Structure formats: C-alpha cells, structure tokens
Amino acid sequence: MIEAFYEIFLSRYNYWMAIILMLIGLYALIAKQNLVKKLIGLNIFQTAIFLFYISFSEVQGGTAPIYLPEGVDALYVNPLPHVLILTAIVVGVSVTAVGLSLIVRIYEEYGVIDEDDLMQVVRGR
Amino acid sequence: MIDHLPPLLIAVPILSALLILLVGWYDRRFCYPISLITILLQFGAAIAILVEVMREGTVRYHLGGWAPPLGIELVIDSFNSYILAVILFLSVATVVYARRSVEKEIDPEKRVSFYVLFQLLVTGLAGMTITGDIFNLYVFLEISSIATYALIASARRPRSYVASFNYLVLGSIAAGFILLGIGNLYVATGTLNMADLAVLLPASYGLATVHTAFLFLLIGFSIKVAFFPLHLWLPDAYTEAPSAVTVLISTVMAKVSVYALFRIVFTVFTTAYVIDTFPVTGFILFIATVAVIAGAILAIAQNDLKRMLAYSSISQIGYIMFALGVANQIALEGGLLHILGHAVMKGCLFMVAGLIIYRMGTSRFSDLKGIAKTMPISCAAFALAGASMIGIPPTIGFASKYYLVLGALEAGQWIYAAVFLLGSLLAAGYIWRFIEIAYFGDHHAEDRRQAPAREGPVSMLVPMVGLALLCLFLGVFVEVVMEAVRPAAMLLLGGA
C-alpha cells in the first residue's frame, strides 16, 4: 500500500505538482469573474507547463550543462527543455502584457473589470 | 539565391516590420508601401518555391548549417508549398484591400503599429507553414497569435477589446495545450524534428505519453481552427475586428491553423496511428458533420452580415475537418481544395461585408435592405462567392464538395455524405438571406432612395472582384489546381 503510494505519488511528486498547478490555473481562468484574476490564472497555467518541462529535463545527480574542458567528464541535465522554456517564458510575458493592456482599455471604456458586469454593460450599449 | 529563399521568406519580413516601425516614426505615409512591397516579395518567393518543389521535389534548409535532429530545419514539400502560395496570395489581396479600409477604421496614430502587426502576423503564419520543427511551429504560432490579439483590438469599437480578450484567453489555453503536447512528444522520443518524430514515434505508439500528446495537440489546434464545440472565440473576434483584419484572419490564419493540424495528424502521427492505434477519425468525422450543420444553422439565425459569415466559417471548417475524418485520397484532395476554395470565397465575402461597413457604417441586415441598388458590384461579387459557398457548379466550392462527398462515399460513409449535402442546403439558406435582403429587400418600399451607385474605392473593389472571379475560374480550371493538390494529398497519406 505504502509502496504503491510511494511509487505513484511521492516518486513523481514534481509532476503531480505541475498537474495541480495547471488545474488551479484552469480553474481560475474559468471560474474567476475578475479579468485580472483570469490573467493570473493563465500565468499559473503557463507556469505549470514550464515546471513540467523543467521536471522532465532533470537527470538524477546531473549538474548544470556547462561546457567543460577536454577530458573532464560530468553528468549533465538535459539543457534543451530549459532553452525551450526560456522561449515560452518570453511568449508568456508578451501574452500577459497584451492581456493586461486589453484589460486597461476595457476598464477605461466600460469602468468594470468583472466579467458579469462587463457582459451587462456590453449588452446594454 | 533559390537555395536561401526559405529563411529569407521569414527573415526579410521581420526586418521589414522593424523598418515600418522606424520609418513610421518619421512619416506615416511610408508604412503602407513598405508593407505592400514586402508581402509582394513574399508572394513572389512563395511562387518560386512552389515551382521549385513541383519540379525538384522537397526543399530542405538547415538553419545556421546545423543538421536536422539538432538544428532547426525548414521543410517545404508539395503540401506546404501549396498552402504557402495560397496564404500569401490572399495576404496580397488583403493588403491591397487594407489601405482604404484602414484609413476609415483605424486612428491615424495607430496605423504604424497596425502595419507592423499586420506584417508580423503574415510572417508568423508563413513561418508556421514552412517550419519542419515542432517547437518552432509553436513559436511562430504565438508570434501570429499575439499579433492577432492586438489587431482585433485595433478597431475603434470598444467591443473589440472584449472580443480580443476572450480570444486571448482561449488562444493561450490552446497554445498551452499545444506546448504540453510537444513536451509529451519530446519525452516519448527525445526529438522535436517532425520528420524525425515520424520515424521514432511508431516504436512507442502504445505509450500513454503519446496518446496524451496527441490529445493535447488535437484539442489545442482544434481551438485554434475553431472546430465546432471549441469555436466560442470566433464569432466575436471576426465580427469586432477591423474589416481588413477579419479578411486576413478568416482566410489566412484559419487556413494555416488547419494546415498545422493536418501536418501534426498526418505527418507526425501518420494515418496508421489515427486509424488503427488510436482510432479517432470516426469521432472527428462525426463532430465535423455536427459542425457543418450547427455552424450553418447558427449562421441562419444571425441578423448581422459579418456575424453570419463568421458562423458560416465554423461550418466551413467542418468541411475541411470532414476530410481529416474520412482520411482517404479523394476526400483529402477535396479538403485541400476546400482550403483554397474557402479562403478565396470567404475572403471575397468578408471583403464585401467590409465594403458595406465602409459605405454604410453598419452590417446589420435591417439597415441593408435594397443595398444592391447602391452597391451593385459588391452584391454581384457576393452572389458569385455565395454561389461557390453553396456549391453550385462550376464554382470552386462545387469542386471541393464534390471530391469530399466522393471520398466519403468511397469510404462507405453514406449517412455522413447525406448529412454533408444537407449542410450545403443550409448554406443556401444563409447566403440567400442576404441576397434576398440586398436585391429584393425594399420591393414594397418607396423608390425615393434611388441614389446613384456608390461603390467603395477602386483599391477595395479590385481584390474583391478578383477573388469573386477566381471562385469561378478555379472551379472551371480545377484540374490545374489538382496538379498541386494530388501529390499533397498523397504525401499526407504517406505515399510519394
């Protein structure tokens, strides 16, 4: 029993954390009324994906993938996912910036940042 | 020179986007010519590449000289050279159309950034089309998506901010799913190159990781193409965006997303996977048929021209996904033909809608009664493209639907073929609605509004009429297009 628990949860807890974070993010995206909170949810969702990438690039006992002089041997973690995620982080930042600026515009125009209120105001016009 | 065309196709336009920004600082009037010239150059390059691919076969380019499994590769084969030519042709038509439309709809101080984003969108889509690396595909997808979010919000109407925000949320979820799918594929195979993935994946077809990756990618791209139950962002985004942007995203962006989905399903996963290992085509076929019907019914229920066309797009995406569901040679030829056909006719229809907004300031049906009297050319173009949308021979819409139905019959899917034809009937319903309003809308009203014909400016009329005539010509000379489509469909099914 405990062994199975260890096998499924504890030995892979980083993936579980990624899944939990992803669900928190999706929940916030769907259930929160406030547009800014929705965007925060989106950020949590993206962070979960980043953590997933970083998790699977880990090699047990591996060190940072730095170029070593000839003859020195070392075990590296896989550097490729790190590079991919660097790109994805930039994308995430840009999306957040666009989203926040849209929220600012919506607030200037309608004076609300709550989704239900917004729908009412938009329909009312 | 021809060897280096693929990377130049992306690098030059990105630099030109920067140039537009710098020059726009100095004088706004230079932005448009630079944008036009760049897109024309891109189109020329796409045609050169298409000719090269049809003559010599697949063109490969290793970026920075790094060989494929390590480096990023640009691959242009018979499938994406065709898509590339189609999307850049429509970009040219749109950018010609855009000038006057932008002058009317975009504030002067925003025009510089409008053209920068326009350029980035076209470049991102071209990049998505030619890349052979799945992560590179994601990056270009995000470049084009972010440009789209901003472009949709660039209209003066405040509602466009809300539409854009909703699209941003759904589009980012889609992109997140795609990223997750790519991650799972990388875990399963250790490579990101599409050709390499296709070789390595069959060994691990049984793994749950691969199934997860496939589902994430399928759902992510389904949101991006607005496949029926995931279409919720589309109507608002298409309706509220400025006319030129609607034309571009409804034709070019939608088609590139479909391309990416086809590429993932058929090149990365191959038909063996989607039919035998993880049988999903039957389900896609079912949903696609539902999409055809539901999109058409929703389109009939609208009372705004642009919104009606937006829902019609959902229905038409169903037709293309239908080809994916049937997954045999003839149906795929029909689907690929419909990618071209739908881009041409929907581009024309949205241009008409944009022109009507340009003149009348609205596209609500109740304000458009008898509009054919004042805008005869536009309404004639609408009728022609609309006939193609319904599938009346000899238009391109007839040819693609003919192949799709033929393919479905060959696969023994009688019921789906029948429902599919019902969808065409419904298309006649919504197209006819506008025709009736435009031509016969005020038969009992007074004749005092006998205003002289007031069409839009020539630069908007020419691309619109050109696309309308193209619906007809492509239908008549469909064999010429089939020359390009047939090898592409064969390639997708894993043949030569």
**Interface pTM, i.e. ipTM:** 0.91
> From residue A9, how far is each of A2, A61, B253, B320, B470 by CA, in Å?
10, 21, 42, 42, 60
Q: Per-domain residue ranges for chain B?
A: 321-496
Structure tokens at B397: 């819409």
| B183 with A99: Cβ contact below 8 A | no
Yes or no: say if B110 and B154 are a contact pair by the CB < 8 Å rule. Answer: yes
Which two tokens mark B245?
A: 């942007």
Q: Are strands B73-76 and B59-62 parallel, antiparallel or unpaired?
A: antiparallel
- The least confident of A5-9, A39-43, B353-357, B471-475 is A5-9
Taking 3-state DSSP, the helix, strand and coil percentages for chain A, each rounded to the nearest 5, stand at: 75, 5, 20
pLDDT at A51 over 70: yes
Task: Report the residue of B179, B189, B191 to disrupt the A interface, i.e. the one with the largest count of A CBs within 10 Å.
Answer: B179
Section B6-28 average pLDDT: 86
Residue of B149, B164, B169 lying closest to A38 (CB–CB): B169
Instruction: Output the pLDDT for position B448.
Output: 47
Query: So what's the architecture of A2-124 in CATH?
Result: Orthogonal Bundle (1.10)
In chain B, residues with a C-beta closer than 8 Å to the C-beta of A40 are none
Q: Parse chain A into domains and list their residue ranges.
A: 2-124
Q: What is the mean pLDDT of residues B241-254?
A: 88
- Would you place residue B496 in the very low, low, confident or very high pLDDT band (cuts 50, 70, 90)? very low
**Per-chain mean pLDDT for chain B:** 85
Across B269-296, average pLDDT: 85
Rounded Cα distance between B464 and B35, Å, is 19
Share of chain B above pLDDT 70, in %: 97
State the DSSP string of B253-273.
Answer: IHHHHHHHHHIIIIIISHHHI
Whole-model pTM: value is 0.90
| Position with higher pLDDT, B63 vs B315 | B315
B162 contact residues in A (CB cutoff 8 A): 106, 118, 122
Closest residue, chain B, to A85 (C-alpha): B179
Is the pLDDT assigned to residue B446 strictly greater than 80? Answer: no
Nearest to B183 by CA among A81, A42, A59, A60: A81
Helix, strand, or coil (residue A75): coil
- Which chain B residue has its CA at the smallest distance from A35's CA? B165
8 Å CB contact between A46 and A15: no
Q: Name the least confident of A7-16, A26-35, B177-186.
A: A7-16
Peptide bond into B6 cis (omega under 30): no
Q: What is the pLDDT of residue B414?
A: 84
Chain B contact present for A95, CB below 8 A: yes
Asked if the Cβ–Cβ distance from B168 to A95 is below 8 Å, we say: yes
